[in-house]
């Protein structure tokens, strides 16, 4: 089975694999692109939300063409605008980034006002160069709130939703963070340097490339990969080199950005569904990302040190010799797949660009990722809530840009429609599959 998965991976015509360019996955410097003068759709100047007096509104409630990306100041202003116009509450995590930025989010819908009323967590922009994620999240929340207030439905390309579905989606209670790597995004927007990591220079060796940590290798899930994974796969799992795009930091949760995401999960402790928005491979990824999923051997899991040094080999068979697979209960795995399939189908239907739905490990094994961390929490600590965690890799790359993660205007408009449809479907799937115990506020 794993050999079949590997052959299918090799045949995929992808420019990037789960946020990494081919050379970056091999630990090599990023190659210069011939079309270095193009940076895709431009970054906006000014503030279209007028200091937070105007709310974002996306492509689900109006027929317009987006001609630029939100700048970092507009992302903050847009969040404030949602609070001003629709009366939602916002919050700021207790951690400041290296450059002194705060990480803020909002709370929309739900059946109650306490933190336990929010059962879905949507996160964006953990990787700085993956442009359009913050836009997609803010526009979706803006569409959802606009449609609810004005008793209308949503239309993302060819995918439509009724007002009744809007109200069902909003009733799940959504906590959202549109800009989880503010330093990195600000730097990438100002430099057009295809910057991925945060801007923490603590481990820098003096070169520009050695600044920063890959935040999506910094979560406390098999973080110490040099001990926990097979030696043959470690180079593609993460890196201990500060110059690498996948440098995992000095310890799990060493970074204020990842601490902030953990804080959201701890604070809104009844969250059942989590999506981390990335680009670009046209995929919806569900856990696990460490190895193949298996439901036969409960003790074969990330907590069991017996399996240190054998994880991540996708050509072995769980239970045969040293063969390893990450345990997931059958029922949970079925729910993971069901919601992922609904997201992928909706995103495909919106624009007719095909999204794949696969376990994260099918691309390549990883450690310290946000989706696996979210799903792992209830295994590591049974007092914590089950969270179904996903990575959505929106878009399909811009080969004509200096950085393939910078979409064209046409791509950006398609991306925004697909993101909206995917998020909407996740909320509806969550409402159908289950949001956990009853809200008691």
For residues 24 and 85, what is the distance between their CA atoms, to the nearest angstrom?
43
- The predicted pLDDT at position 28 comes to 59
**Backbone angles phi and psi of 404, in degrees to 5:** -60, -15
Q: Kindly report the number of other CB atoms within 10 A of residue 437's CB atom.
A: 11
**Backbone angles phi and psi of 144, in degrees to 5:** -60, -45
For residues 23 and 7, what is the distance between their CA atoms, to the nearest angstrom?
20
- Reading the chain (441 residues) residue by residue, the pLDDT tens digits are 333 333 333 333 334 555 776 657 555 565 555 545 789 999 999 999 999 999 999 999 999 999 999 999 999 999 999 999 999 999 999 999 999 999 999 999 999 889 999 999 999 999 999 999 999 999 999 999 999 999 999 999 999 999 999 999 999 999 999 999 999 999 999 999 999 999 999 999 999 999 999 999 999 999 999 999 999 999 989 999 999 999 999 999 999 999 999 999 999 999 999 999 999 999 999 999 999 999 999 999 999 999 999 999 999 999 999 999 999 999 999 999 999 999 999 999 999 999 999 999 998 899 999 999 999 999 999 999 999 999 999 999 999 999 999 999 999 999 999 999 999 999 999 999 999 998 778
E-strand stretches of 224-268: none
| pTM score | 0.94
Beta carbons within 8 Å of 14's beta carbon, 6+ residues apart: 281, 397
Beta carbons within 8 Å of 99's beta carbon, 6+ residues apart: 182, 183, 186, 199
- Residue in 363, 381, 359, 392 with CA at minimum distance from that of residue 273: 392
- The predicted pLDDT at position 354 comes to 98
- The predicted pLDDT at position 5 comes to 36
Q: Kindly report the number of other CB atoms within 10 A of residue 397's CB atom.
A: 20
- The predicted pLDDT at position 439 comes to 79
Helical spans, DSSP H, in 52-102: 72-86
For residues 161 and 109, what is the distance between their CA atoms, to the nearest angstrom?
17
Beta carbons within 8 Å of 17's beta carbon, 6+ residues apart: 25, 281, 363, 364
Are the beta carbons of 235 and 347 closer than 8 angstroms?
no
For residues 100 and 203, what is the distance between their CA atoms, to the nearest angstrom?
18
């Amino acid at each position: 089975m794993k050999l079949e998965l590997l052959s299918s991976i090799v045949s995929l015509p992808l420019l990037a694999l789960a946020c990494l360019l081919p050379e970056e996955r091999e630990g090599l410097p990023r190659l210069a692109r011939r079309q270095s003068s193009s940076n895709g759709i431009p970054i906006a100047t000014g503030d279209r939300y007028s200091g937070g007096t105007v709310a974002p509104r996306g492509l689900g409630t109006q027929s317009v063409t987006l001609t630029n990306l939100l700048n970092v100041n507009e992302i903050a202003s847009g969040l404030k605008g949602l609070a001003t116009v629709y009366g939602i509450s916002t919050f700021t995590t207790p951690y400041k980034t290296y450059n002194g930025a705060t990480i803020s989010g909002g709370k929309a819908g739900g059946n109650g006002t306490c933190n336990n009323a929010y059962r879905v967590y949507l996160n964006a922009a953990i990787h700085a160069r993956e442009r359009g994620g913050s836009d997609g999240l803010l526009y979706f929340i803006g569409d959802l709130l606009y449609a609810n207030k004005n008793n209308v439905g949503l239309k993302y390309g060819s995918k439509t939703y009724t007002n009744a579905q809007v109200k069902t989606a909003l009733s799940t209670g959504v906590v959202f963070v549109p800009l989880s790597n503010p330093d990195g995004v600000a730097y990438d927007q100002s430099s057009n340097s295809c910057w991925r990591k945060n801007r923490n220079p603590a481990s820098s060796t003096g070169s520009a490339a050695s600044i920063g940590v890959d935040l999506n290798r910094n979560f406390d899930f098999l973080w110490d990969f040099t001990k926990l994974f097979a030696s043959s796969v470690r180079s593609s799992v993460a890196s201990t080199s500060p110059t690498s795009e996948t440098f995992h930091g000095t310890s799990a949760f060493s970074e204020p950005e990842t601490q902030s995401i953990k804080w959201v999960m701890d604070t809104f402790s009844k969250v059942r569904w989590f999506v981390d928005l990335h680009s670009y491979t046209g995929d919806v990824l569900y856990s696990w990302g460490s190895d193949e999923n298996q439901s036969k051997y409960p003790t074969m899991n990330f907590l069991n040190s017996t399996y240190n040094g054998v994880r991540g080999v996708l050509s072995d068979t769980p239970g045969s010799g040293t063969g390893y697979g990450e345990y997931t209960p059958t029922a949970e795995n079925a729910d993971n797949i069901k919601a992922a399939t609904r997201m992928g189908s909706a995103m495909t239907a919106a624009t007719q660009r095909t999204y794949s739905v696969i376990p994260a490990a099918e691309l390549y094994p990883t450690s310290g990722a946000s989706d696996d961390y979210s799903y792992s929490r209830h295994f590591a600590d049974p007092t914590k809530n089950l969270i179904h965690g996903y990575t959505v890799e929106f878009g399909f790359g811009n080969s004509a840009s200096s950085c393939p993660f910078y979409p064209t205007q046409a791509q950006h408009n398609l991306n925004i429609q697909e993101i909206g449809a995917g998020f909407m479907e996740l909320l509806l799937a969550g409402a159908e599959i289950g949001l956990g115990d009853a809200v008691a506020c």
